[in-house]
């Protein structure tokens, strides 16, 4: 494997200012808006990262309320995901489900969010009860909404209730107005709606950058996998860009509440709006980091050129790129969708950060994409990314290696408001079921879901958006599809359960973890289900080989979920932490933690809030929220060991084809790890031996990780751990735990 | 485009006979700062006795980097910072490989040489000049 070299002469010459516009009906759409409620508020700016108030809106009763942020909230929950979980805890009962009016969607940026001097500081954290998992889901998303909300005067937005008509919530942080409007004629799909609303609510062209829209799309209404798009106005391109709060179906909750969109109009952004305690430290840390990106990124990950897609070929080279529903880890056609292609296809002559000051600038965009299918056939659009997860999930995992189709799939997922990761994994499952005869054309209503059939894939997505046919079944997600297929007697239940890549009801994200015990735990020993937000350990385990022993892996599953949780408490993106590293990083102790960057984060928090912390307190801050979330899961009837099991496809080879494709590796493991002689064993015996060994070591890992986390063997945080974290100050939290000890 | 250029053979480069008139005049007359170290150009003496100049050649790399479109060429081709648009992210500072951007802790926005020529008049050695050169092509950085 060699470093991809960027050649500017190979970048496709595409006019990045040209695309189809959707403003023709704007006046009629605006005229149809009817104000249901309008109340004034006093805009404020944060003091040391906090406004010390949040905004509550009940979209059913139209109640609007300002709530104080207590010192306890700041001490224990910090902000962002922590504030979201705390608000949600107070809003719901153990019996509450995703579509009950008391379920909430909470958006909170965190205290550091909105500074402009360091990369990756514009994130919003979105929390809700998930339609897929019935437990809290949290999603970390870029775009300008969170920072603009905060600079308007609120540390979080709580949305509760259910409307009986489509509404838009408009928060005007310039004029101090909160308005709930009925929106009967507004378009639904995000690339249209965000454009229309940005132009509708901006007072002039210069004001467009001060507008951010949160919305979803047609498929969120007919599936459980809806996501939320967070917009910003890309002035150079002259268009709306979107970032996604993807996982867990929050867009479905949004549409169930009949919220069409949230619009925030913030003040013009300046670098001092967060009124931090120590600006000089933030400025110096930011400049140091920008220089590191300038000097090291071209020789390391090339995030500025390729975005996260830079790892497509690395994952392929290490047999970790999910292919054909996580059966295999590589494919000969991968060069067609690797970063050397995307860096030619994505526009390189512009700035691609999803918040000001992000020098990592990974939010790539492919301009001039002419759509071939669906309601926007013939339209020219800009497609964000594709990010690695999309190239892998919509691409290799479904056998789609045509980059044009991959962009189209990516585009429609975004505008229809569904999670690309979830859609990729569930489609890969559908395709494997089709290939194995569990599904057929009769059962799919005519969709020929064979590997690589992008047209059928797109048609299934269009069905999901129209609420028709097999698209409705697919939109229920892998867990519910498994139950349907088994109930209908369409295939061997064990096979269906083994190959359906979900845990807790959430689909796996796009890494092959059969050979990475650490990532197996990183996926299934999680709070919200298998994603790479909590513990993306595959790279350090399989590529950098920095956590070789069992103890290293168990320790990594203690430290990294906590470390990475911290980003979500403060409004940070995770990528600037380890997608570039200081030149001397490998010489540092605990190089896999990127110690210099950890210190940057300690400094940024202290300089923002004035509260002095060190790297240990950083972990403690996360541990309070992480354990609180675990207990929240238990309160909702999950969060125990039984919920942390992984489907066997995540642990090892399910089918004979998988075994035979890597027979040398698997046979060697029979000798080295099990002390058996594969020459004397049948294929079935060898596969059975692998199943026993692999499930055994996963259980052993679970024991070790629970113990390190201060949990019982059933996965329940102990009272001693609660006391250590100060969570014993919450009697209702202690009460949940006591019932399981 | 207008570009400030230095002839290091003429420049005294900070040795005894030089009082850094260029830096002092820049700081005082352009930015109203009393400290010459805050000037938008710097003349340094290297260990080997040779001179080194840190000054903006208006290459325009920073224009592409700025997320707020606050850096643009004016009609003379000089790269100017629009303080109203600048969000103080300092990417221009970090991405300038000549390290010519300055930051005054009292101001949010950074600043840089604007090829105004005040230093040219101030230099007693006539080492500085304003020249007209073609704009370089845009680089992707």
3-state secondary structure A247-285: CCCHHHHHHHCCEEEEEEECCCCCCCCCCCCCHHHHHHH
- Chain A residue with CA closest to B109: the answer is A271
Q: How far apart are CA A17 and CA A89, in angstroms?
A: 45
pLDDT of residue A2: 54
- Estimate to the nearest angstrom the gap between the alpha carbon of B124 and the chain centroid: 19
- Chain A residue with CA closest to B137: the answer is A349
Q: A350 and chain B: CB distance < 8 Å anywhere?
A: yes
Per residue in A435-489, pLDDT tens?
Answer: 999 999 999 999 999 999 999 999 999 999 999 999 999 999 999 999 999 999 9
Per residue in A46-72, pLDDT tens?
Answer: 999 999 999 999 999 999 999 999 999
Using pLDDT thresholds of 50, 70 and 90, give the confidence band for residue B141: confident
> How distant, in Å, are the alpha carbons of A139, A448, A519, A639, A702 from that of A458?
25, 11, 30, 35, 39
For A336, the token pair is: 């067609």
Asked whether A409 and A458 are in contact (CB, 8 A), the reply is yes
Nearest CB partner across the interface for B140, out of A8, A269, A287: A8
Q: Is residue A689 part of a domain?
A: yes
Q: Is residue B118 part of a domain?
A: yes
Residues A554 and A420 in one domain: no
Q: Is residue B40 part of a domain?
A: yes
Using pLDDT thresholds of 50, 70 and 90, give the confidence band for residue A501: very high
- What residues in A contact B70, CB-CB < 8 Å? none
pLDDT of residue B50: 75
Q: Is residue B138 part of a domain?
A: no
Q: A236 and chain B: CB distance < 8 Å anywhere?
A: yes
For A536, the token pair is: 């993306």
Residues A529 and A502 in one domain: no
Per residue in B40-82, pLDDT tens?
Answer: 999 888 887 777 899 999 999 999 999 999 999 999 999 999 9
Q: Which residue has the tokens 């207990």?
A: A631
The DSSP annotation for A452-466 comes to T-HHHHHHHHHHHHH
Residue to test with chain A: of B62, B89, B103, most A Cβ within 10 A: B89
- What residues in A contact B141, CB-CB < 8 Å? 294, 304
CATH of the domain at A688: 1.10.599.10
The number of helices, as runs of H, and strands, as runs of E, in chain B is: 4, 6
Last residue of a domain, one of A462, A478, A507: A507
Q: Is residue A69 part of a domain?
A: yes
Asked whether A347 and A367 are in contact (CB, 8 A), the reply is yes
CB proximity list for A231: less than 8 A, separation 6 or greater: A143, A144, A145, A190, A194, A198, A211, A212, A213, A214, A215, A240, A241, A242, A243
Q: Is residue B137 part of a domain?
A: no
pLDDT of residue B10: 86
Q: Is residue B51 part of a domain?
A: yes
| Largest interatomic CA distance in chain B | 43
pLDDT of residue A387: 93
Q: B131 and chain A: CB distance < 8 Å anywhere?
A: no
Residues A492 and A530 in one domain: no
B89–A117 C-beta distance less than 8 A = yes
For B41, the token pair is: 């150009």
B138–A270 C-beta distance less than 8 A = no
Domain that holds residue B73: 2-126
- What residues in A contact B90, CB-CB < 8 Å? 117, 271, 283, 286-287, 290, 357
pLDDT of residue A390: 96
Residues A538 and A447 in one domain: no
Q: How far apart are CA A61 and CA A49, in angstroms?
A: 31
Residues A317 and A408 in one domain: yes
Q: Which residue has the tokens 């002419």?
A: A370
Residues A128 and A195 in one domain: yes
- Other Cβ atoms less than 10 A from the Cβ of B122: the count is 18
Using pLDDT thresholds of 50, 70 and 90, give the confidence band for residue A4: confident
Q: Is residue A420 part of a domain?
A: yes
How do B42-45 and B51-54 pair as beta strands? antiparallel
Residues A501 and A521 in one domain: no
User: A420-435 vs A454-466: helix axis angle to the nearest 10?
Assistant: 120
How do A259-265 and A177-182 pair as beta strands? unpaired
Chain B (79-108) residues lying within 8 Å, Cβ to Cβ, of chain A: 86-91, 93-95, 97, 103, 105, 108
Cis peptide bond prior to A704, omega within 30° of 0: no
As a dihedral over the C-alpha atoms of residue A498, residue A501, residue A504, residue A505, rounded to 10 degrees, the angle is: -110
Using pLDDT thresholds of 50, 70 and 90, give the confidence band for residue B9: confident
Per residue in A562-577, pLDDT tens?
Answer: 999 999 999 999 999 9
Asked whether B102 and B40 are in contact (CB, 8 A), the reply is yes
Q: Is residue A558 part of a domain?
A: yes
Residues A96 and A59 in one domain: yes
Query: What is the number of domains present in chain A?
Result: 3
Measure in Å the smallest separation between the Cα of A361 and chain B Cα atoms.
10
Query: What is the number of domains present in chain B?
Result: 1
DSSP, res A346: S
As a dihedral over the C-alpha atoms of residue A42, residue A46, residue A52, residue A53, rounded to 10 degrees, the angle is: 40
Whether residue A1 has pLDDT greater than 60: no
CATH of the domain at B93: 3.30.70.20
Average per-residue pLDDT in chain A? 97
Asked whether A384 and A246 are in contact (CB, 8 A), the reply is no
Q: What whole-number percentage of chain A has pLDDT above 70?
A: 100
For the segment A683-702, the average pLDDT, to the nearest whole number, is: 98
CB proximity list for B69: less than 8 A, separation 6 or greater: A235, A236, B85
Average per-residue pLDDT in chain B? 92
Q: Is residue A28 part of a domain?
A: no
CB proximity list for A642: less than 8 A, separation 6 or greater: none
Whether residue A172 has pLDDT greater than 90: yes
Last residue of a domain, one of A446, A478, A507: A507
Q: Is residue A292 part of a domain?
A: no
Per residue in A505-520, pLDDT tens?
Answer: 999 999 999 999 999 9
Q: Is residue B94 part of a domain?
A: yes
Q: Is B95 helix (H, G, I), strand (E, B) or coil?
A: helix
Using pLDDT thresholds of 50, 70 and 90, give the confidence band for residue B29: confident
Residues A502 and A417 in one domain: yes
Whether residue A434 has pLDDT greater than 70: yes
Residues A339 and A411 in one domain: yes
User: A403-416 vs A420-435: helix axis angle to the nearest 10?
Assistant: 120
Asked whether A519 and A621 are in contact (CB, 8 A), the reply is no
pLDDT of residue B15: 63
Cα angle: A428, vertex A432, A434; to 5 degrees: 115
> How distant, in Å, are the alpha carbons of A379, A394, A519, A631 from that of A557?
46, 28, 9, 18
Residue to test with chain A: of B94, B137, B138, most A Cβ within 10 A: B94
For the segment A398-408, the average pLDDT, to the nearest whole number, is: 98
pLDDT of residue A214: 98
CATH of the domain at A409: 1.10.569.10
pLDDT of residue A47: 98
Q: How far apart are CA A367 and CA A384, in angstroms?
A: 9
How do A239-245 and A259-265 pair as beta strands? unpaired
Cα angle: A180, vertex A186, A187; to 5 degrees: 140
pLDDT of residue A210: 98
Q: Which residue has the tokens 């759409």?
A: A29
Interface confidence (ipTM) of the complex: 0.96
For the segment A118-122, the average pLDDT, to the nearest whole number, is: 98
Q: Is residue A294 part of a domain?
A: no
Domain that holds residue A185: 33-265
Q: Is residue A603 part of a domain?
A: no
Q: Is residue B140 part of a domain?
A: no
b or e along A380-406 (b: 16 or more beta carbons within 10 Å of the residue's beta carbon)? bbbbbbbbbbbbbbbbbbbbbbebebb
Q: How far apart are CA A572 and CA A618, in angstroms?
A: 14
Q: Is residue B139 part of a domain?
A: no
B67–A348 C-beta distance less than 8 A = no
| Residue B75 exposed, middle or buried by CB count within 10 Å (0-12, 13-18, 19+) | exposed
Residues A191 and A231 in one domain: yes
Whether residue B14 has pLDDT greater than 60: no
The DSSP annotation for A531-589 comes to -SSS---HIIIIIS----SHHHHHHHHHHHHHHHHHHHHHT--SHHHHSS--TTGGGST
Size of interface A-B (CB pairs under 8 A): 76
For the segment A337-354, the average pLDDT, to the nearest whole number, is: 93
- Chain A residue with CA closest to B62: the answer is A351
Measure in Å the smallest separation between the Cα of B82 and chain A Cα atoms.
13
Last residue of a domain, one of A485, A507, A529: A507
Q: A184: closest CA among A367, A61, A385, A31?
A: A31
CATH of the domain at A185: 3.60.9.10
Per residue in A588-606, pLDDT tens?
Answer: 999 999 999 999 999 999 9
Residues A448 and A476 in one domain: yes
Residue to test with chain B: of A122, A151, A270, most B Cβ within 10 A: A270
- Other Cβ atoms less than 10 A from the Cβ of A679: the count is 8
The DSSP annotation for A293-328 comes to HHHHGGGTT-HHHHGGGGGHHHHHHTT-S-BTTTTB
């Amino acid at each position: 494997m060699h470093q991809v070299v960027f050649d500017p002469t190979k970048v496709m010459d595409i006019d990045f200012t040209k695309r189809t516009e959707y403003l023709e009906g704007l006046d009629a759409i605006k005229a149809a808006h009817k104000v249901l409620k309008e109340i004034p508020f006093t805009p404020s700016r944060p003091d040391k990262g906090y406004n010390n108030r949040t905004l509550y809106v009940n979209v059913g009763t139209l109640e609007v309320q300002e709530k104080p942020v207590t010192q306890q909230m700041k001490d224990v929950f910090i902000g962002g995901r922590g504030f979201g979980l705390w608000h949600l805890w107070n809003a719901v009962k153990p019996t509450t489900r995703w579509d009950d009016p008391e379920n909430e969607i909470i958006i909170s940026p965190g205290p550091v969010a909105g500074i402009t001097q360091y990369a990756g500081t514009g994130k919003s954290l979105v929390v809700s009860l998930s339609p897929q998992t019935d437990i809290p889901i949290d999603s970390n998303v870029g775009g300008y909404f969170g920072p603009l909300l905060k600079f308007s005067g609120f540390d979080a937005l709580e949305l509760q209730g259910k409307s009986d008509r489509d509404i838009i919530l408009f928060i005007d942080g310039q004029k101090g107005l909160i308005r709930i409007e009925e929106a009967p004629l507004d378009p639904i799909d995000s690339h249209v709606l965000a454009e229309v609303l940005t132009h509708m609510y901006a007072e002039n062209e210069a004001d467009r950058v001060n507008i951010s829209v949160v919305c979803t799309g047609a498929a969120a209404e007919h599936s459980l996998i809806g996501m939320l798009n967070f917009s910003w106005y890309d002035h150079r391109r002259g268009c709306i860009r979107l970032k996604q709060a993807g996982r867990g179906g929050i867009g479905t909750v949004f549409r169930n509440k009949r919220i069409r969109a949230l619009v925030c109009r913030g003040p013009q952004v300046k670098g001092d709006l967060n009124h931090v305690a120590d600006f000089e430290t933030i400025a110096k840390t930011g400049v140091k980091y920008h220089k590191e990106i300038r000097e090291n990124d071209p020789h390391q990950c090339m995030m500025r050129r390729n975005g996260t897609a830079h790892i497509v070929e690395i994952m392929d080279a290490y047999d970790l790129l999910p292919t054909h529903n996580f059966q295999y880890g590589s494919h000969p056609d991968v060069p067609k969708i690797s970063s050397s292609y995307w860096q030619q296809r994505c526009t390189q002559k512009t700035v691609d950060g999803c918040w000001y000051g992000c020098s990592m600038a990974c939010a790539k965009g492919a301009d001039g994409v002419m759509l071939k299918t669906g309601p926007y056939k013939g339209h020219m659009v800009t497609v964000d990314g594709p990010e690695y997860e999309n190239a892998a999930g919509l691409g290799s995992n479904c056998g789609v290696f045509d980059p044009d189709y991959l962009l189209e799939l990516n585009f429609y997922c975004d505008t229809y408001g569904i999670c690309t990761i979830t859609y990729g994994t569930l489609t890969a499952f559908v395709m494997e079921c089709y290939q194995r005869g569990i599904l057929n054309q009769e059962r799919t209503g005519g969709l020929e879901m064979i590997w690589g059939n992008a047209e059928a894939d797109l048609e299934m997505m269009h069905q999901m958006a129209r609420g028709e046919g097999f698209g409705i079944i697919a939109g229920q997600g892998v867990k519910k599809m498994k139950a349907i297929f088994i109930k209908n007697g369409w295939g061997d239940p064990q096979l269906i359960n083994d190959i359906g890549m979900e845990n807790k009801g959430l689909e796996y994200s796009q890494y092959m973890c059969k050979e990475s015990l650490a990532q197996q735990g990183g996926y299934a020993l999680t709070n919200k289900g298998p994603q790479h937000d909590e513990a993306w350990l595959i790279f350090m385990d399989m590529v950098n080989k920095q956590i070789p022993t069992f103890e290293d892996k168990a320790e990594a599953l203690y430290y990294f979920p906590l470390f990475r949780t911290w980003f979500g408490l403060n409004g940070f993106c995770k990528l600037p932490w380890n997608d570039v590293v200081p030149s001397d990083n490998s010489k540092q102790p605990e190089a896999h933690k990127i110690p210099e960057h950890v210190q940057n984060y300690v400094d940024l928090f202290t300089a923002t809030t004035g509260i002095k912390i060190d790297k240990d307190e950083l972990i403690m801050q996360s541990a309070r929220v992480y354990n609180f979330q675990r207990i929240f899961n238990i309160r909702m009837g999950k969060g125990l060991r039984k919920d942390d099991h992984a489907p066997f496809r995540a642990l090892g080879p399910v089918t004979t084809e998988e075994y035979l494709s890597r027979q040398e590796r698997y046979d060697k493991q029979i000798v080295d790890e099990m002390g058996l002689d594969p020459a004397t064993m049948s294929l079935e015996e060898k596969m059975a031996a692998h199943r026993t060994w692999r499930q055994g070591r996963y259980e052993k890992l679970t024991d070790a990780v629970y113990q390190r986390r201060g949990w019982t063997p059933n996965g329940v945080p102990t009272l001693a751990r609660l006391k250590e974290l100060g969570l014993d100050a919450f009697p209702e939290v202690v009460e949940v735990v006591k019932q399981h000890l | 485009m207008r570009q400030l250029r230095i002839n290091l053979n003429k420049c005294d480069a900070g040795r005894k006979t030089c009082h850094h008139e260029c830096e002092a005049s820049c700081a005082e007359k352009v930015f109203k700062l009393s400290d010459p170290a805050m000037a938008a150009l710097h003349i340094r003496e290297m260990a080997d006795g040779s001179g080194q100049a840190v000054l903006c050649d208006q290459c325009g790399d920073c224009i592409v980097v700025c997320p707020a479109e606050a850096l643009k060429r004016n009609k003379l081709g000089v790269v100017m910072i629009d303080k109203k648009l600048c969000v103080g992210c300092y990417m221009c500072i970090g991405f300038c490989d000549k390290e010519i951007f300055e930051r005054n802790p009292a101001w949010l926005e950074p600043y840089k040489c604007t090829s105004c020529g005040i230093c040219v008049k101030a230099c007693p050695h006539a080492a500085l000049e304003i020249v007209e050169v073609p704009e370089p092509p845009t680089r992707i950085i």
